[in-house]
């Protein structure tokens, strides 16, 4: 078995086509980007030239592309202004992904320190339902709920949270899941031994189901298990260690999953991380 879709989260500074260059520099067939400054609500409209040049280079390089939604968007907010901006920002981002031919849009569920977890989950599901209905013309863009470390009042640090949001949306086919390895570890799930890893993956199958898994973020963790703090480390350089990543890249259940490193640094550091991952894929002997 071979992990087929592997790449890094890269910068589009200097233009969208630079994402394709970064992928080339790191020998990747996949890439993840922010389609706009993730720390601002607004973005200038995409130009026809930006759209066509990016689509062309992604096809030329045979890239599978994911976008990550702005961290400002919070579907769990009860602040009217933030709620309104979040829904509009999410809808706009789906449209940008459709125009750019981006297949996956990864996002964090949301948070609300004034509500219970259950109330926040219900609110997120309602807002998501509205967004799905408003973007019926963008069915090709898959909305990918990411597991979180559980910092503050973040929803998504239990697999059950993600399952419930999907369930409340009638198991909508446009809603899928991203497992971030650093986040689940910080949230308290151990995957460092084969038995713990299998336990987690079997749990995932029972609670959510592999049919919903489309993306994985392969990041080591600078903080120990259960810390609930989201700090990414280079592969093998954090508290998770190499074994978990060896299990992942050799797991037949994950064969067609888009795998993205969101580790510190740029092309040089990402290439080191990606080469470590590729180097751990077991060669199947044919004798
Ligand atoms: Zn992530
Ligand atoms: Zn993270």
Q: In the prediction, which pLDDT does 282 show?
A: 86
Alpha-carbon torsion, ordered 161, 262, 45, 172, to 10 deg: -30
In angstroms, what is the span from residue 213 Cα to ligand 2's centroid?
18
* Mean pLDDT score, 137-150: 97
Q: How confident is the model at residue 62 (pLDDT cuts 50, 70, 90)?
A: very high
Distance 48 CA to ligand 2 centre (A): 32
The ligand whose atoms approach the alpha carbon of 180 most closely is: 1
**Separation between Cα atoms, residue 214 and residue 144, nearest integer Å:** 8
Residue 75 has pLDDT above 50, yes or no: yes
**Share of residues in the chain with pLDDT > 90 (%):** 95
Report which bound ligand comes closest to the CA of 260: 1
Alpha-carbon distances of 24 from 20, 192, 220, rounded to whole Å: 6, 31, 23
Which residues are CB-contacts of 81 (< 8 A; sequence separation ≥ 6)?
Answer: none
In this structure, which residues have their CB less than 5 angstroms from ion ligand 1? 180, 217
Check: pTM over 0.85? Answer yes or no. Answer: yes
Asked if 110 and 151 touch (Cβ cutoff 8 Å), the reply is no
Q: What is the CATH number of domain 6-279?
A: 3.20.20.150
Q: Is the pLDDT of residue 79 over 80?
A: yes
Residue 1 — pLDDT band, cuts 50, 70, 90?
A: very low
Contact 149, 174 (CB under 8 A): no
**% of the chain surpassing 70 pLDDT:** 98
Question: How do strand 110-111 and strand 154-155 relate by DSSP bridges?
Answer: antiparallel
Residue 214, CA atoms < 13 Å, CB-side half-sphere:
21
Average pLDDT, the chain: 96
pLDDT of residue 285: 54
pLDDT tens-digit series, residues 154-168? 999 999 999 999 999
Three-class SS of residue 116? coil
Q: Which two tokens stand for residue 239?
A: 């508290």
* Å from CA of 27 to ligand 2 middle: 23
């Amino acid at each position: 078995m071979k992990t087929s879709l592997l790449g890094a989260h890269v910068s589009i500074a200097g233009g969208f086509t630079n994402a394709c260059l970064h992928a080339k520099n790191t020998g990747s067939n996949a890439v993840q980007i922010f389609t706009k400054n993730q720390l601002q609500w607004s973005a200038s409209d995409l130009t026809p030239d930006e759209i066509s040049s990016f689509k062309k280079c992604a096809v030329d390089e045979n890239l599978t592309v994911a976008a990550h939604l702005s961290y400002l968007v919070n579907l769990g907010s009860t602040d009217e202004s933030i709620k309104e901006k979040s829904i509009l920002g999410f809808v706009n981002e789906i449209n940008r992904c459709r125009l750019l031919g981006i297949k996956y849009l990864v996002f964090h569920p949301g948070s609300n320190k004034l509500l219970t977890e259950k109330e926040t989950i219900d609110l997120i599901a309602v807002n998501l339902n509205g967004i799905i209905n408003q973007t019926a013309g963008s069915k090709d863009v898959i909305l990918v709920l990411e597991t979180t470390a559980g910092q503050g009042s973040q929803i998504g640090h239990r697999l059950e949270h993600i399952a419930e949001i999907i369930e409340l949306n009638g198991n909508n086919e446009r809603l899928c899941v991203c497992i971030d390895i650093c986040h689940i570890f910080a949230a308290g799930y151990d995957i460092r031994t084969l038995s713990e890893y299998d336990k987690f993956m079997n749990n995932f199958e029972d609670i959510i189901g592999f049919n919903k898994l489309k993306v994985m973020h392969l990041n080591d963790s600078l903080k120990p298990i259960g810390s609930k703090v989201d700090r990414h480390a280079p592969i093998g350089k954090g508290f998770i260690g190499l074994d978990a990543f060896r299990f992942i890249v050799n797991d037949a259940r994950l064969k067609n999953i888009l795998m993205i490193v969101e580790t510190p640094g740029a092309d040089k550091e990402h290439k080191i991380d990606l080469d470590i991952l590729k180097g751990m894929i077991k060669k199947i002997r044919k004798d």
